[in-house]
């Protein structure tokens, strides 16, 4: 682990440059350029707020806030979006960077760091705008907002661990990536993001304990909507899952790195 962290630190310039190039390439041929990074999430926040709070008058059980459901929905979708982006990009990172992997001098462990950094940059822009909305609407939760940091670290660890496992498997079994694209759609709807968990039948509600993202998105919703600390005890299974996936992913990566180069 210390050797891996040392490699990442020594390669920080390469990681930073890769993230910068990816950001520039994404908007290279557009007229508005990087302004789209603000316009897209701003449009999403406005649409969710206007439709659910003004048009549909959606309410959460026990919540009378004007923007309650919009905040609940945005908190869930933004946290899920970060997770989904990291995992989706990570499952193809070895295939997409096959030429780099074939270079013996290339620090391969940088690929997960680049994927996570790109996703976090996008998340920071979108979440920054959402935070501005919370402040302007008088819904900012206060000091408890700082508790989002450990939640964010847990989510990234969970996503990177799963992404590493899928990324290695996808090199040898390409159906893995195709299957996961279908699976993640079901996973989204099994996570209380669009709906509150309280509307589920008791049998289905009990099954949420096997869904680590239910606890993570619920933590974001607790902080941003209710202004209270997450259920740390409820997050322990998600933390254990993240640890197991990270260890499994790193183990597969180390043992199969040479075979991946041959396969690619």
The predicted-structure confidence for 182-222, as pLDDT tens digits, reads as follows: 999 999 989 998 888 888 888 888 888 899 999 999 999 99
* pLDDT at site 154: 96
CA distance 186 to 206: 17
Residues 115, 84: Cα–Cα separation, whole Å: 12
Q: Which residue has the tokens 């670290």?
A: 153
Interacting residues of 4 by C-beta distance below 8 A, sequence separation 6+: 109, 250
Report the pLDDT averaged over residues 121-125: 88
What CA–CA distance (Å, rounded) separates 11 from 52? 45
Of 91, 121, 263, 254, the closest CA to residue 184 belongs to: 91
- Predicted confidence band at 171 (pLDDT cuts at 50, 70, 90)? confident
**More confident of the two residues 56 and 22:** 22
Residue percentage of the chain with pLDDT more than 70: 84
- Give me the mean pLDDT over the 232-260 stretch: 89
228 — pLDDT class (breaks 50, 70, 90) = very high
Whats the size of the chain, residue-wise? 264
Q: How far apart are CA 78 and CA 158, in angstroms?
A: 16
Please, what is the angle between helix 68-90 and helix 175-189, to 10°?
A: 170
Per the model's pLDDT, the better-predicted residue between 172 and 41 turns out to be 172
* Closest C-alpha to 87, from 52, 112, 121: 112
Which pTM value belongs to this model?
0.88
Average pLDDT score over residue span 36-47: 69
| Residue that the structure tokens 């869930």 belong to | 76
CA distances from 219 to 51, 139, 152, 247 (A): 24, 17, 10, 24
Position 161 scores a pLDDT of 94
Q: What is the mean pLDDT of residues 162-184?
A: 90
In angstroms, rounded to a whole number, what is the distance separating the alpha carbons of residues 170 and 172?
5
- What gap in Å lies between CA 106 and CA 40, rounded to an integer? 35
Token digits for 97?
Answer: 């960077």
> Residue 23 — pLDDT band, cuts 50, 70, 90?
confident
pLDDT for position 34 = 58
Top mean-pLDDT range of 13-17, 20-24, 142-146: 142-146
- Residue 213 makes CB contacts below 8 A (sequence gap 6+) with 80, 83, 155, 158, 187, 191, 238
Mean pLDDT of 131-141: 90
């Amino acid at each position: 682990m210390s050797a891996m962290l040392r490699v990442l630190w020594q390669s920080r310039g390469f990681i930073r440059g890769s993230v910068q190039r990816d950001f520039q390439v994404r908007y290279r041929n557009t007229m508005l350029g990087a302004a789209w990074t603000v316009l897209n999430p701003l449009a999403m926040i406005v649409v969710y707020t206007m439709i659910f709070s003004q048009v549909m008058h959606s309410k959460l059980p026990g919540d009378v806030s004007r923007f309650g459901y919009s905040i609940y929905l945005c908190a869930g979708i933004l946290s899920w979006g970060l997770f989904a982006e990291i995992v989706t990009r990570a499952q193809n990172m070895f295939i997409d960077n096959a030429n780099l992997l074939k270079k013996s001098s290339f620090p391969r462990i940088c690929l997960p760091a680049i994927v996570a950094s790109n996703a976090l940059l996008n998340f920071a822009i979108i979440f920054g705008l959402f935070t501005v909305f919370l402040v302007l609407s008088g819904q900012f939760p206060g000091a408890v907002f700082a508790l989002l940091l450990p939640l964010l670290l847990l989510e990234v660890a969970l996503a990177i661990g799963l992404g590493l496992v899928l990324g290695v498997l996808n090199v040898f079994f390409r159906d893995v990536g195709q299957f996961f694209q279908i699976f993640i759609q079901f996973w989204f709807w099994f996570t209380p993001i669009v709906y509150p968990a309280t509307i589920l039948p008791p049998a289905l509600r009990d099954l949420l304990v096997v869904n680590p993202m239910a606890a993570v998105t619920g933590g974001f919703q607790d902080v941003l909507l209710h202004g209270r600390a997450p259920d740390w005890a409820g997050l322990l299974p998600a933390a254990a899952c993240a640890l197991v996936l990270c260890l499994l992913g790193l183990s597969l990566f180390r043992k199969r790195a040479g075979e991946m180069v041959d396969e690619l």
